[in-house]
Every structure is written in structure tokens, then in C-alpha cells.
């Protein structure tokens, strides 16, 4: 799922191409992607775009007349920019927004249809999409600590909870926790002031560094390779590969459709965290440490 760095770079690319312009046409290719019926989507045609904002992991496109379009890409949704009459987009488009000098296309890979578009009339009606998460890049250390300790969860769960923190998902939380040298299963209620400060710094560093890197990679072009698995990440998506800090093999915890990646040597003192699938299968043979493995 595109997270804060990806959404930020998407918005910058959109601002450079369509800010101040009006759509000349809208086509909803797959009706399922449009989750609202009022106002009608054709009402966007001919109305100038006045701005963009990020709301958690959502992109909000602002129009004159107090109109808003809210796009949530979820896991497999992506935005593409094509010149008018350009190449066919793959995967198949879910929606097309036409401008005089190009077309913005929303695509979604796979069979599950999770990406969504909502049209909203009136600023106050945007509140339903605000999960209330703290904006970590502009928050103070005190505000971060208060939010982190407001509920007792594992630190991984807290970072990825959109009601606690805005824009952080599975990928960048792995990178943040590796940078902070914290176990993903460490409980927030047990964190020392020093650990909170370390985590706060890691959050800001990782999100800022990756936003800068993605911006540089795009080099003014529309971002095409938006993925949760990027070359240069320390642990996310690198199961079995060496940690760039200590060289130990990166470990994982698998659950449902997701997984957490971590370095046992850097983050858990060499202890292996129980994987729900493998540890239940191996039982007493499940290694408890890197040395046992």
C-alpha cells in the first residue's frame, strides 16, 4: 500500500501537471471503484483544481465550488499519467480523468477491488475520511510520546494504526523499527523515554529520507514504480538476506496477507520472534535464537 513518502511524491507529480486545470472528461471504467453517488462524478468536468492534500494514505483533490475527490489506493491501486492518445495502460484502468494535455488513470492489479474514489461536497464532509492519526513529520516529540503511550500495543501495531499515526504502513514501519533498533513486538507501555526519543527520531529520518529518495528517483517524471518493496530498504521484503548493518539474515513474522521483517541481532538481542505458522509447525524444534538457528 502506498504510504506517506509515496503519496507525497504522487501529490507533487499531480500538482505539476494538473493544478489550476480542469478535467475535460471523466470515465469510470469499473463502477465498483466509485463509492459515492452524490455529487455525480460528471460534476467535476470543467471545474478548476485548486489544490491537493494528503489525508493519511488518501489523496484529496480539491476543486472550486467546494468539491473534493478522495482517492484511496489501498494495496494494489496505482496512479498513471499518460499523454492523450498514449499507450494502453496495464493493468486495466478502473477510472480515467482526462485533461487537455494528458490522462490520469487509476489502475488496480489483481482480482480484489479495494481501491476507492469518493466525491464530496463541502469541507465538513471530508471529516469522515480523517482517521485522526498524528502527522509525525510536523509533531513535537511530546505529542508523539503522548500518542504512542495513549494505548498499550506492540510498537509495530501502534505505528501502523491510522487512528494513532498518519501515513505509516507495513513497509516503512519495518524500516523505522530497524533504524530505532526496536523489536516490532515491544509493548509501548514498557518503552523508556530514551526509546521513545529514539523511535521519534527514526520515524522522522526514515520518512524524510525515503520521500527525498522517491522524489529523486522520479526526477520530475510521474512516479510509475510505486511498490512496498524497494532496493535500498534495510529489512522490509528482505527475508533471508543480510542485514546491511550487521550481516545477520533478516527474519520475518507472517500473518494473514502480510509479514513483518526485522533483524534479530539489531532489534531483539538475537532472539527469534515466533512465526505463527512455522513456530506452531515446528513446536519444540522452533529455534529461539540466531545461534540455535
Examine residue 291 and state whether it is found in any structural domain, yes or no.
no
Alpha carbons 17 and 102: distance in angstroms, whole number: 9
Q: What angle do CA 197, 254, 90 make, to 5 degrees?
A: 100
- The pTM for the full model equals 0.92
Is the model's pLDDT at 184 over the cut of 90? yes
> How large a percentage of the chain has pLDDT more than 90?
84
Residues 225/200/154/75 CA torsion (nearest 10 deg): -20
Give the model's confidence band at 86: pLDDT under 50 very low, under 70 low, under 90 confident, else very high. low
Which of 129, 151, 167 finishes a domain? Answer: 129
- The residue among 258 and 126 whose pLDDT is bigger is 126
Examine residue 135 and state whether it is found in any structural domain, yes or no.
no
Examine residue 191 and state whether it is found in any structural domain, yes or no.
yes
Q: Based on the fold, state whether residues 118 and 150 are members of the same structural domain.
A: no
Alpha carbons 140 and 147: distance in angstroms, whole number: 11
Q: Number of structural domains, the chain? A: 2
Which CATH number do you get for residue 73?
Answer: 3.20.190.10
Q: Based on the fold, state whether residues 22 and 97 are members of the same structural domain.
A: yes
Task: Tell me which of 237-246, 257-266, 274-283 is least confident.
Answer: 274-283
Task: Please state the rounded mean pLDDT for residues 41-55.
Answer: 97
Q: Based on the fold, state whether residues 255 and 157 are members of the same structural domain.
A: yes
Compute the chain's Rg from CA coordinates. 21
Q: Quote the domain boundaries for residue 276.
A: 141-285
Is the model's pLDDT at 159 over the cut of 70? yes
Examine residue 292 and state whether it is found in any structural domain, yes or no.
no
Region label for 147, one of left (φ > 0), alpha (ψ between -120 and 50) or beta (otherwise): alpha
Task: Please state the rounded mean pLDDT for residues 270-282.
Answer: 64
Which of 129, 164, 195 finishes a domain? Answer: 129
Q: Based on the fold, state whether residues 164 and 103 are members of the same structural domain.
A: no
Alpha carbons 263 and 267: distance in angstroms, whole number: 6
Give the model's confidence band at 110: pLDDT under 50 very low, under 70 low, under 90 confident, else very high. confident
Provide the b/e sequence for 54-80 (b: ≥16 CB within 10 Å): bbbbbbbbbbeeebbbbbbbbbbbbbb
Which of 93, 108, 129 finishes a domain? Answer: 129
211 CB contacts (<8 Å, ≥6 apart)? 4, 5, 8, 9
Q: How far is CA 64 from the centre of its chain?
A: 28
Amino acid at each position: 500500500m502506498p504510504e506517506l513518502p509515496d503519496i507525497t511524491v504522487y501529490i507533487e507529480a499531480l500538482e505539476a501537471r494538473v493544478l489550476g486545470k480542469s478535467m475535460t472528461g471523466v470515465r469510470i471504467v469499473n463502477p465498483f471503484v466509485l463509492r459515492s453517488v452524490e455529487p455525480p462524478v460528471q460534476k467535476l468536468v470543467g471545474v478548476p483544481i485548486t489544490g491537493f492534500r494528503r489525508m493519511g494514505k488518501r489523496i484529496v483533490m480539491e476543486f472550486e465550488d467546494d468539491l473534493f475527490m478522495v482517492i484511496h489506493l489501498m494495496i494494489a491501486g496505482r496512479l498513471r499519467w499518460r499523454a492523450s492518445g498514449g499507450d494502453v495502460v496495464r493493468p486495466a484502468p478502473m477510472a480515467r480523468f482526462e485533461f487537455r494535455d494528458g490522462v490520469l488513470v487509476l489502475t488496480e492489479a489483481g482480482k480484489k477491488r479495494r481501491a476507492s474514489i469518493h466525491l464530496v461536497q463541502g469541507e465538513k464532509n471530508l471529516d469522515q475520511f480523517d482517521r485522526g492519526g498524528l502527522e509525525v513529520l510536523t509533531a513535537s516529540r511530546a505529542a508523539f510520546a503522548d500518542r504512542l503511550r495513549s494505548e498499550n500495543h506492540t510498537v509495530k501495531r501502534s505505528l501502523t494504526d491510522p487512528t494513532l499515526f498518519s501515513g505509516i504502513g507495513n513497509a516503512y514501519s519495518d524500516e523505522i523499527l530497524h533504524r530505532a533498533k526496536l523489536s516490532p513486538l515491544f509493548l509501548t507501555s514498557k518503552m523508556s523515554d530514551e526509546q521513545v526519543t529514539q523511535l521519534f527520531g527514526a520515524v522522522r529520518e526514515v520518512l524524510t529520507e525515503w520521500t527525498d529518495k522517491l522524489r529523486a528517483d522520479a526526477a520530475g517524471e510521474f512516479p510509475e514504480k510505486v511498490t512496498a518493496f524497494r532496493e535500498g530498504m534495510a529489512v522490509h521484503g528482505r527475508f533471508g538476506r543480510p542485514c546491511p548493518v550487521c550481516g545477520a539474515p533478516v527474519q520475518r513474522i507472517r500473518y494473514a496477507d502480510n509479514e513483518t521483517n526485522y533483524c534479530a541481532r539489531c532489534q531483539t538481542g538475537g532472539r527469534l520472534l515466533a512465526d505463527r505458522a512455522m513456530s506452531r509447525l515446528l513446536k519444540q524444534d522452533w529455534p529461539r535464537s540466531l545461534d540455535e538457528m
